[in-house]
Amino acid sequence: MAFKSFTEYLLLEKNYSALTVNAYQTDLKNFLDFITAKYETNTINKVNYPQIRSWIVSMVESGLSNRSINRKVSALNTYYKFLLKIGEIKTNPLSKHKALKTSKKIQVPFSENEVMTVLNELHFENDFEGIRNKLIIELFYSTGIRRIELVELKLTSVNLDNKTVKVLGKRNKERIVPLLKPVVQTISKYLISRNELESIIDDDILFLTKKGIKVYETLVYRIINDYFSLASAKVKKSPHILRHSFATHLLNQGADLNAVKELLGHSSLAATQVYTHNSITELKKVHVKAHPRSEK
| 3-state SS, residue 295 | coil
Judged on CB neighbours under 10 Å (0-12, 13-18, 19+), 233 is exposed
Q: Backbone phi, then psi, for 32, in 5-degree steps?
A: -60, -40
In this prediction, what percent of the chain has a pLDDT beyond 90? 65
Choose between 44 and 137: higher pLDDT. 137
Minimal CA–CA distance to 44: which of 73, 80, 69?
80
Which is the catalytic residue, given 14, 170, 189, 214? Answer: 170
Distance, C-alpha 10 to centroid of its chain: 16
* Domains by residue range for the chain, with CATH: 3-85 (1.10.150), 112-287 (1.10.443.10)
Which is the catalytic residue, given 72, 134, 146, 237? Answer: 146
pLDDT value at residue 131: 98
How would residue 108 be classed by pLDDT, with cut points 50, 70 and 90?
A: confident
User: Over the chain, what is the mean pLDDT?
Assistant: 88
Residue 134 annotated to the active site: no
> Residue 56: how many CA atoms within 13 Å on its side-chain side?
21
Cα–Cα distance, 77 to 71 (Å, whole number): 10
Residue 292 has pLDDT above 80, yes or no: no
DSSP letter assigned to residue 208 = B
Which is the catalytic residue, given 24, 80, 227, 275? Answer: 275
Residue 16 annotated to the active site: no
Total residues belonging to the chain: 296
Choose between 272 and 60: higher pLDDT. 60
pLDDT value at residue 19: 82
Residue 243 annotated to the active site: yes
Residue 296 has pLDDT above 60, yes or no: no
pLDDT value at residue 72: 94
Residue 240 annotated to the active site: yes
Residue 236 has pLDDT above 80, yes or no: yes
Residue 88 has pLDDT above 60, yes or no: yes
Minimal CA–CA distance to 243: which of 266, 218, 214, 216?
266
Minimal CA–CA distance to 151: which of 217, 203, 100, 245?
217
Residue 275 annotated to the active site: yes
Contact (CB, 8 A) for 202 and 209: no
Residue 260 has pLDDT above 90, yes or no: no
Measured between alpha carbons, how far is residue 26 from residues 15, 79, 169 in Å?
A: 18, 12, 24
pLDDT value at residue 152: 95
Which stretch of DSSP H or E encloses residue 159?
strand 158-159
pLDDT value at residue 257: 83
pLDDT value at residue 96: 92
How would residue 2 be classed by pLDDT, with cut points 50, 70 and 90?
A: confident
Which is the catalytic residue, given 132, 243, 244, 249? Answer: 243
Which is the catalytic residue, given 97, 189, 210, 240? Answer: 240
User: Which pairs with CB-CB distance under 8 Å and at least 24 residues apart come from 280-289?
Assistant: 282/251, 282/252, 286/254
pLDDT value at residue 238: 93
Return the minimum-mean-pLDDT range out of 75-89, 163-177, 257-271.
Answer: 257-271
Contact (CB, 8 A) for 80 and 94: yes
For 90-105, write each residue's pLDDT tens digit. Answer: 999 999 999 998 876 6
Residue 293 annotated to the active site: no
pLDDT value at residue 285: 58
Cα–Cα distance, 158 to 191 (Å, whole number): 11
For 121-179, write each residue's pLDDT tens digit. Answer: 999 999 999 999 999 999 999 999 999 999 999 999 999 999 999 999 887 888 999 99
pLDDT value at residue 234: 84
How would residue 276 be classed by pLDDT, with cut points 50, 70 and 90?
A: low
